[in-house]
Amino acid sequence: MGNKVCVQCRAQPVAPEWRPFCSEECKLLDLRNWVDGRYRVAGEKTTALEDDTDEHH
């Protein structure tokens, strides 16, 4: 398969224990990007009002 590089820093080889990252630091940087809202998952746009229905009460 060849040498794979870290998906975060794209400089260091992937470490098996942190796959697909090279280190815990890169793993935590990726997590921070998710928490900060820098990454987005494509989908239909909704509003909070549309999601809040009487079926759930």
Identify whether 19 is part of a domain.
yes
Identify whether 45 is part of a domain.
no
Range of the domain at 27: 8-37
Q: Between the CA of residue 25 and those of 12, 16, 18, 37, what are the distances in Å?
A: 12, 14, 10, 19
Q: What is the pLDDT of residue 8?
A: 97
Identify whether 24 is part of a domain.
yes
Identify whether 54 is part of a domain.
no
**The total number of structural domains that make up the chain:** 1
pLDDT in tens, the chain (57 residues): 557 999 999 999 999 999 999 999 999 999 999 999 998 888 888 776 655 555 555
Identify whether 32 is part of a domain.
yes
Identify whether 31 is part of a domain.
yes
